[in-house]
Every structure is written in C-alpha cells, then in structure tokens.
Amino acid sequence: MGTVDKKRQIEDIMDKTRKEQVVIIFEDLFSAWIEDIKSLGMIELYKRKIGALASPGSIYYSFI
C-alpha cells in the first residue's frame, strides 16, 4: 500500500463520526488479530478444545 493510499484512507476515516471511526478501527484490529490466530493455527486448536468439552448431559459436565 502506497503513501497516497494510506493518506486517502486516513482522510476517509476522519470524515466519519466518532462512532464510525471507532468501529472502523476495531474492525481493522480485529481482522488483523484473526489473521494472526489463523496463521498460528490457534483456531483449529480452540475448535478441538471446545469439541473435547463434556456435553451438558454427561456425568462429567456436573464437575465442570
């Protein structure tokens, strides 16, 4: 991304209301965080951990 593109994006964000600015920045940070997690394979790890949890009907669930 060139300097001109970055300046244009900043100007676009600055023209928004404060709430819209916060949402845009949060979305950018969240998507970057998700990309980092994906690259580390953490999503698959979390899926396996959640899948390994005891179901609500099992006897082990009462101890969790």
Give residue-wise pLDDT tens across range 5-62: 666 677 877 888 888 888 888 888 888 888 887 777 777 777 787 777 766 666 655 5
Q: How many CA atoms lie within 13 A of 26 on its CB side?
A: 6
Better pLDDT: 64 or 42 = 42
Three-state SS for 58? coil
Q: Which amino acid is located at 18 in the chain?
A: R
Biggest alpha carbon–alpha carbon distance for the chain: 61
pTM: 0.45
1 pLDDT above the threshold of 50? no
Question: In the prediction, which pLDDT does 62 show?
Answer: 54
